[in-house]
Amino acid sequence: MSHKVLVIEDEPTLSRLLSYNLTQEGYDVTVCDHGGEGLQAAIQRSFDLIMLDIMLPGMNGFEVLGKLRQSGIKTPVIILTARTAEEEVVQGLKHGADDYITKPFGVAELLARVSAVLRRSGHAVADTAQPQDKVIRAGDLAIYPERYEVILAGEQVPLRPKEFEVLLYLIQRPGMVITRDDLMNVVWGFDYIGGQRTVDVHVSSLRKKLELGANSVCIESIRGVGYKLVLPKKVGAG
Ligand code: CA
């Protein structure tokens, strides 16, 4: 059974991006581009998660959130805020939001946040036989997507969040050539202004941190295109 997500966002590019990526991930997505209509939908139908923009036509995100909580609806809410608007985050959490994402955001961060909020609210756990953390293993490497943790041969690898997201994206696509553009869009977000050099810097740092393991993954450069992750010879199960 797929989780139902309500996206209340008036910026068409962003709501399409959210809708596309959440649908790809198996969520059942409903989009509203108006504050009042979003509130109506949230009250009349049942959702597992609401993604809520703050600046909305009709009724702003804080009002929507306030009215929802007043109506006794406890559906988890992730607010979408501008990177510079710390005050929005504070207000949002005060009004009863469960988490926030600052724009622009990468798809990896979006999916990690959504899954973490659903897990905390008990929805995701109910769907799996084991309530343990999800883990991806490759040789001596173990990656815990929901905790942003990487263990290599029993030792925790200190990765920056973006390094973690690059690794997570690559390891889910072993042997595939991933372009710098893809990594850029997924990890840094579509409107990130930084250039592809940022990707190279992160990959190179990631490589250094991972090459310490004898049975670790290897990130190959594909000249002029991007990168390819190669799994170790002896691949762990799971
Ligand atoms: Ca808006």
For residue range 139-195, what is the model confidence (pLDDT) as tens digits? 888 898 877 889 888 888 888 888 999 999 999 888 999 999 889 888 888 666 777
Domain 136-237 falls in which CATH fold?
Arc Repressor Mutant, subunit A (1.10.10)
Kindly state the percentage of the chain with pLDDT values over 90.
42
For residue range 36-94, what is the model confidence (pLDDT) as tens digits? 999 999 999 999 999 999 999 999 999 999 999 998 898 999 999 876 777 888 888 88
CA of 202 to the centre of ligand 1 (A): 31
Was domain 4-120 assigned CATH 2.30.40.10? no
CA of 104 to the centre of ligand 1 (A): 13
- Which tokens belong to 133? 């953390």
pLDDT the model gives residue 206: 92
CA of 95 to the centre of ligand 1 (A): 18
CA of 41 to the centre of ligand 1 (A): 18
pLDDT the model gives residue 132: 54
Strand partners, 219: 229
CA of 34 to the centre of ligand 1 (A): 9
CA of 163 to the centre of ligand 1 (A): 29
Q: Answer yes or no: is pLDDT of 127 > 50.
A: no
CA of 15 to the centre of ligand 1 (A): 10
Bigger pLDDT: 116 or 82?
Answer: 116
Average pLDDT of the chain is: 86
SS (H, E, C) the chain: CCCEEEEECCCHHHHHHHHHHHHHCCCEEEEECCHHHHHHHHHHCCCCEEEEECCCCCCCHHHHHHHHHHCCCCCCEEEEEECCCHHHHHHHHHCCCCEEEEECCCHHHHHHHHHHHHHHCCHHHHHCCCCCCCCEEECCEEEECCCCEEEECCEECCCCHHHHHHHHHHHCCCCCEEEHHHHHHHHHCCCCCCCCHHHHHHHHHHHHHHCCCCCCCEEEEECCCEEEEECCCCCCCC
For residue range 185-233, what is the model confidence (pLDDT) as tens digits? 888 886 667 777 889 999 999 998 887 666 888 999 999 899 999 988 7
pLDDT the model gives residue 185: 84
CA of 126 to the centre of ligand 1 (A): 33
CA of 231 to the centre of ligand 1 (A): 42
Mean pLDDT of all residues in 112-129: 70
How far is residue 170's CA from residue 63's CA, in Å, rounded to a whole number?
40
pLDDT the model gives residue 123: 56
CA of 105 to the centre of ligand 1 (A): 15
The CATH 1.10.10.10 portion of the chain extends over 136-237
CA of 56 to the centre of ligand 1 (A): 5
CA of 28 to the centre of ligand 1 (A): 22
Mean pLDDT of all residues in 111-115: 90
